Structure 1
């Protein structure tokens, strides 16, 4: 059975825009009234990220369980998942990021993964979604040794969080170093599928020039989580290889000054066939969360409601 959730990230475009409990309540209620039953959180650190990690949640809501009650009071069933960027620096324990390409950082990587997984389990979630590799503009091409190191790191994480009943989902994005030289496919082939799954993001695949429906078909046996969103443009000039592309390309639009890389599900151009993706998931027997996203939306509540209509009237009937 497919469960429908929504990502909280579009409500928090700037570090100080989403810090008050009333703002959190409104966001969760909008997600609920739009027909979704779960919410995906995003990792962060410090007082400006009250939903960014378990320590901040406990500080702002009394406990992780207290936040779970806050979520349910808004009409949602659970926190479906947590998106964690392991390069995040956490002021809570004065750590400086956990690079999975560095074996010396593996103990920290595992410890932070378990930190999130334990809270997720308490909040009714099932998948820890992670950025598995550096951005392409930050590192050389990933050779076989680098892929082997990444595989060992993420298998160790998958083993650790399985003890909490949480699955690991690798999130491929269009800026990733895994985009070159079949990096994603090589990493999946090098990892144990019982420990390391794929969190498929339809728009990221589309922007990278890959068909999302074909991606579901190709990776059906590895998909443990889905981010469903539409793409507005394709990175035809391979700007993902440029330095600091996470700012100059993703946020500033690159050389073409793309206004938004991500669109609502039914907004043209329809570079992602959302009904086709859902139908393919159903054919594959997928059971889990499909989390809709509207990253960098200038009108977050409107985007949630537009996507909610599409899910309720077009996509959910398919599932």
Structure 2
């Protein structure tokens, strides 16, 4: 398999939901951990975390890592809100260009995602039941996703779309509908597929050549179900420890990777072990735990990539 393996700030508790004031692992510490563990890339994380312009390029060069992708969440179902959010997309694309100016062997993929709704975010995996999307709103979602993709392609990158719990593209049926109506390929996220009731092995086979980016997670399904059955939303899932190191959860990693290999996959595999650290965390201990888990995760993928 020709895939390249990247790590991600979210595996170190650094993403858009990180609590204000929480201690975080520094970008240099994170990149050093990933480089020493054998990763060749990293996801962007929140805009500015890894720096911009020459600072970003220098940081990636220093650790011999390439940028794999980066999260861009947009309100696709609301035309006015979508227009208002386009500067965020353009800002993100400028950062991707900063990273691509280094001439990497594999370009990053701007990772588009829907914004969802408050109801869906509060009830991950149950959006189709509690907050179904009417036909006209689906049409807006598809049209605005195509507009975003056109901007990405005009900047010299290929977009990818991330199905995500708590959004309007979360369930297998919603993913099917999206892929049937929008000319953007898919970021398959094994963890979010579990939340929506899907099986990663089946869906690698089902979506096949439409998968151009992979977010690979292991999940403790018992803990995940406990949180969801108690009425927890995504913050509770992230802080529960339901996303675990490979081998400690319920993903059929060998089955997923065999199915990915059968598809001739040639792209980024971004290892994500989402965690949400709160204020008061002992950051040195937290960093050590995250480093150990990321070594475990990289070693687990060695037979394939």
TM-score scaled by length of structure 1: 0.76
- Aligned with 1:179: secondary structure? coil
2:10 alignment counterpart:
9
Which residue number in structure 1 is paired with residue 211 of structure 2? 223
Q: Give the match for residue 134 of structure 1.
A: 116
Q: Determine helix, strand or coil for the equivalent of 1:221.
A: helix
Alpha-carbon separation, structure 2, partners of 1:305 and 1:181? 33
Instruction: Kindly state the Cα deviation for residue 10 of structure 1 after the two structures are TM-superposed.
Output: 3.2
- CA shift, 1:165, in A, is 2.1
1:311 aligns with 2:298: yes
SS in 1 for 2:30: helix
Partner of 1:118: 94
1:162 has 2:163 as partner: no
Counterparts of 2:197 and 2:132, CA distance in 1? 19
2:37–2:298 Cα contact (<8 Å) kept:
no
Indicate which of 163, 178, 182 corresponds to 1:172. Answer: 163
Q: 1:227 to 1:137 in 2, by over 3 A?
A: same
Q: Contact 1:131–1:170 (CA<8 Å) still a contact in 2? A: yes
- Between the aligned partners of 1:141 and 1:178, the Cα distance in structure 2 is 11
Q: For the structure 1 residues 238 and 308, does the alpha-carbon distance in structure 2 shift closer, same or farther, using more than 3 Å as the test?
A: closer
Aligned equivalents of 1:131 and 1:231: distance in 2? 21
Higher helix proportion, which one? 2
1:301 is displaced (CA, Å) by 4.3
* Cα shift readout 1:121-178 (whole Å, capped 9, x = no counterpart): 3213421113224047258311222211111111111111112222222212233333
- Number of the residue aligned with 1:147: 138
- SS, match of residue 130 in structure 1: strand
The structure 2 residue matched to 1:34, chosen from 32, 37, 40, is: 37
Decide whether aligned partners of structure 1 residues 199 and 71 sit closer, same or farther in structure 2, where only a CA change above 3 A counts: same
| CA deviations over 1:253-276 (Å, ceiling 9, x no partner) | xxxxxx322111111xx3211222
Moved more, 141-150 or 167-176: 167-176
Following the alignment from structure 1 to structure 2, what is the Cα–Cα distance between the partners of residues 118 and 240?
41
Q: Which residues in structure 2 correspond to 1:226-265 (within 5 Å)?
A: 226-233=214-221, 239=228, 245-247=233-235, 249-251=236-238, 259-265=240-246
Q: More relative contact order in 1 or in 2 (CA 8 Å, sep 6+)?
A: 2
Equivalent residue in structure 2 for 1:276, among 251, 255, 260: 255
What do you get for the CA RMSD once the two structures are aligned? 2.8
What's the offset of the Cα at 1:5? 0.3
Runs (5+) with no aligned partner, structure 2: 101-106, 121-129, 278-285
Report the alpha carbon displacement of residue 39 of structure 1 after superposing the two structures with TM.
0.9
* Number of equivalences: 276
Q: Is the 8 A contact 2:5 2:40 kept in 1?
A: yes
Asked whether the 8 Å contact 1:169–1:199 carries over to 2, the reply is yes
**Which residue does the alignment assign to 1:255?**
none
Q: TM-score, normalised by structure 2?
A: 0.79
8 Å contact 2:57–2:99 — kept in the other structure?
A: yes
What corresponds to 1:89 in structure 2? Answer: none
Query: Aligned-pair distance for 1:111?
Result: 3.5
Question: Does the residue aligned with 1:250 lie in a helix, a strand or coil?
Answer: helix
TM-aligned CA deviation for residue 239 of structure 1: 4.4
Matches within 5 A, 1:180-191: 182-191=173-182
**Contact 2:271 2:297 (C-alpha < 8 Å) held by counterparts:** no
Cα pair 1:133 1:150 within 8 Å, conserved? no
Residue deviations 1:285-308, cap 9 Å, x none?
111110101111763543444343
Higher deviation after alignment, 105-114 or 282-291: 105-114
Instruction: Provide, for residues 2-58 of structure 1, a one-character-per-residue CA deviation record: whole Å limited to 9, x for no partner.
Output: 0110011233243334578xx2211110011011011112235xxxxx418xxxx34
